[in-house]
Amino acid sequence: MRKYGEYREEARGLTTELCLVLALSVVGTIVVSAVAIAVVATVAPYEYFSHATTMKMSPGYWMQLFWLRLVQCGIGTFVLVVGTAAYKTWQFSESGGRSVATALGGSRVHEGATDSGHVKVKNVVEELAIATSMRAPPVYVLEEEPGINAFVAGFTPKDAVIGVTRGAIDKMKRHQLQGMIAHEFSHLINGDMRLNVRLLGVLAGIQAIDYIARFLLRLATPEVESSGRCSKHPLGMILAFLFGIVIWPIGQIGAFFAMLIHMAVNRQREFLADASAVEFTHDPQGLCEALAKLLDEDAGSRLTSPSAQLASHMFFASSGGTWQRLLQAHPPLEERIRRLDPTSAAAALQ
């Protein structure tokens, strides 16, 4: 049987490899976009001079023009993608954990709480904080959520919070709740929140190419004035259409593969958090039973809050329906259980 430390190192290694693949895909998307735009920017004037005028330019002139446009387009595309990624990363990091918990309908558990469930989850969080030598983050309870789930939100440990659904508090035994919250502590310690924010920023940067393409295609749409004449210049509409139709599929494909890599990275971080949680609690059974319980309960891990889908990557398990799990950042529950306790996985999954 493999040790949890081996699973942890494997997940970290795969995360690094996937991030390198993502970086290469971003560079590839920028290069292909720049080449495509440069080709259009060179072919368009070539066609115009060849058919609309009697001027003749040497092949060397057009080749020089292409390389000039390629450099210009490469710099422009790079600034667009990297600038959007940097801005979105900053924007995502500004939304602290408290605002996320509040948006999901959570209420903070304060000192002196009398609710037995609140006391139980707060004690578990404080015990794990001591075990991991961390400051105990504020605890929020999602009172209106009957499903079993938890999350950690925040860009740094200083502004992080732990959120737990009411269903998890009521339906789980203490050692199961401890395993689930230890998993969330692992995300905090491993810096997964910061990594995820940066990945989301990169994804937004790639999607900027798609936004520009859509904008150009809208410019290519004719607008008829009251007099019956088109308000846009025909040549401008044609150029906008050409640029838009060329870079639109590139942006779509780049964003799609970036999203797939982002999901793959998140799955590896979930495996890493599971392995780290067991090392914190020294009790694989608690986390294993918590995961198995999600397969048994009718409510499962599903959340009803409208904001849950946007924050689905933060949760202990998938917060969507069955069809949505095909595009979720969480690995299958069965696989997570098998990695935690292969010997009892068959019994837990029956």
Q: What would the two tokens of residue 94 be?
A: 């500004």
pLDDT confidence tier of residue 238, bands split at 50, 70 and 90: confident
**Confidence grade of residue 346 (pLDDT, cut at 50, 70, 90):** very low
Query: Which has the higher per-residue pLDDT, 11 or 68?
Result: 68
Least confident piece of the model among 109-123, 137-151, 295-309 = 295-309
Task: Give pLDDT, residue 164.
Answer: 94
Identify residue 191 by its one-letter amino acid code: G
What is the rounded average pLDDT of the residues 218-234? 64
> Residue 204: what pLDDT?
87
**177 touches 120 (CB < 8 A):** yes
- What confidence category does residue 41 fall into, taking pLDDT thresholds of 50, 70 and 90? confident
pLDDT value of residue 279 = 86
pLDDT of residue 323: 45
Q: List C-alpha distances in Å: 129 to 148, 181, 186, 347.
A: 22, 10, 11, 32
Q: Among 5-14, 31-40, 208-217, 277-286, which is the least confidently predicted range?
A: 5-14
Q: State the pLDDT confidence band at 142, using cuts at 50, 70 and 90.
A: very high
Reported as type and span, the H/E element at residue 139 is: strand 139-142
- Average predicted confidence (pLDDT) for the chain: 82
DSSP output for 144-198: T--S--EEEE-SSGGG-EEEEEHHHHHHS-HHHHHHHHHHHHHHHHTTHHHHHHH
Cα atoms in the 13 Å half-sphere on the side-chain side of 339? 24
Q: What percent of the chain has pLDDT over 70?
A: 83
pLDDT at residue 94, rounded to an integer:
72
Is residue 294 a contact partner of residue 317, using CB atoms and an 8 Å limit?
Answer: yes
Count CB atoms within 10 A of the CB of residue 194: 15
pTM score of the predicted model? 0.78
- Give residue 101's identity as a one-letter amino acid code: A
Catalytic residue among 145, 184, 270, 289: 184
Strands 161-165 and 139-142: parallel
Q: Which has the closest alpha carbon to 102: 153, 30, 62, 57? A: 153
Residue 256 pLDDT: 87
Q: What structural domains and CATH numbers belong to the chain?
A: 4-95+193-268 (no CATH), 98-192+282-331 (3.30.2010.10)
Side chain identity at 156, as an amino acid letter?
T
Task: Check residues 25 and 225 and name the one with the higher pLDDT.
Answer: 25
User: Which range, of 214-228, 237-251, 316-330, averages the lowest pLDDT?
Assistant: 316-330
- Catalytic: 184? yes
Nearest to 36 by CA among 74, 64, 92: 74
* pLDDT of the residue at 183: 94
Confidence check: pLDDT of 225 > 90 = no
- Residue 23, pLDDT > 80, answer yes
Mean pLDDT of 145-167: 88
Give the integer Cα–Cα distance in Å for 86 and 141.
Answer: 32
Query: Binning pLDDT at 50, 70 and 90, where does residue 215 land?
Result: confident
Spacing of C-alpha 50 from chain mean position? 48
User: Which pair of tokens denotes residue 186?
Assistant: 């692992």
pLDDT value of residue 341: 75
Residue 75 pLDDT > 60: yes
pLDDT computed for residue 102 by the predictor: 87
Gyration radius of the chain's alpha carbons: 26
